[in-house]
């Protein structure tokens, strides 16, 4: 029952934050950028200003699918951002370039996050296997004691939770770099700057909610497995 409550509460919170983010993006997309630069042009300019020449700027399908890929060194922007000439597109484009700058400058938190990706993926697969097997009695085949199952579940979810918290400084720092650059470069007017700042604030909130949900779930599993069982 408690796990269901956690899922419902954070699910609703995540939905509200996501809806608010989409609303803000739509609102700020309706005001044309005075500098008349597209997201693609802003990305290329920010990368050039930081001396980064080996990062491609691509257009990818979807809405709010924007991301930086450290594997092939590419800034990938959704069509609304890639072609958009507004404060919302500016914020997202500069934010993703902020990750490219982090990569180029060997930002420690980004390096840690990248190193954790394969470990996090394996932890997720292990957790899924254990939880599914437990539903169908599969764990009995391995004759695993309750404490061992707890170590596996809590350990795996602990890695996932740590990953969500390591992501936070990476995202906040990318936004900080983005806002500082667009302001210093006079890409935006004061009002456009506030729109960009507000857009990135709500985007960051999605990561905060995910981290808190993961922590709450981890605490639940820890309580179930190690909360005073005799």
DSSP secondary structure letter of residue 32: B
Beta-bridge partner residues of 77: 59
Catalytic residue among 44, 96, 171, 192: 96
Convert 77-99 into a string of H (helix), E (strand) and C (coil).
ECHHHHCCCEHHHHHHHHHHHHH
Look at residues 125, 110, 121, 215 and name the one whose alpha carbon lies nearest to residue 167.
110
At 56, is the secondary structure helix, strand, or coil?
Answer: strand
Show the CA angle centred on residue 105, arms to residues 62 and 209, nearest 5°: 45
Using CA atoms, how far apart are residues 127 and 132, in angstroms rounded to an integer?
A: 8
Catalytic residue at 194? Answer: no
Dihedral, CA atoms, 70, 73, 79, 85, nearest 10 degrees?
Answer: 110
Which residue, among 10, 9, 14, 6, has the nearest Cα to 220 in the 3D structure? Answer: 6
Tokens describing residue 110: 């980004």
* Residues noted as catalytic: 96
């Amino acid at each position: 029952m408690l796990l269901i409550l956690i899922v419902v509460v954070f699910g609703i919170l995540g939905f509200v934050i996501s809806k608010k983010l989409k609303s803000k993006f739509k609102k700020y997309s309706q005001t044309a950028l005075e500098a008349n630069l597209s997201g693609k042009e802003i990305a290329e300019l920010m990368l050039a200003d930081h001396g980064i020449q080996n990062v491609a700027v691509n257009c990818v399908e979807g809405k709010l699918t924007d991301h930086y890929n450290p594997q092939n060194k590419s800034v990938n922007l959704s069509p609304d951002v890639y072609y958009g000439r507004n404060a919302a597109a500016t914020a997202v484009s500069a934010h993703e370039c902020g990750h490219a700058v982090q990569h180029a400058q060997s930002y420690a938190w980004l390096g840690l996050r990248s190193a954790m990706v394969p470990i996090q993926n394996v932890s997720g697969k292990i957790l899924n296997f254990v939880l599914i097997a437990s539903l169908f009695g599969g764990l009995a085949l391995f004759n695993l004691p309750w404490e061992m199952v707890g170590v596996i579940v809590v350990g795996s979810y602990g890695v996932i939770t740590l990953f969500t918290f390591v992501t936070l400084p990476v995202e906040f720092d990318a936004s900080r770099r983005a806002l500082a650059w667009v302001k210093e470069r006079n890409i935006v007017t004061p009002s456009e700057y506030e729109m960009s700042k507000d857009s990135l604030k709500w985007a960051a909130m999605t990561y905060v909610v995910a981290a808190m949900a993961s922590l709450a779930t981890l605490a639940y599993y820890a309580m179930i497995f190690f909360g005073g069982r005799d």
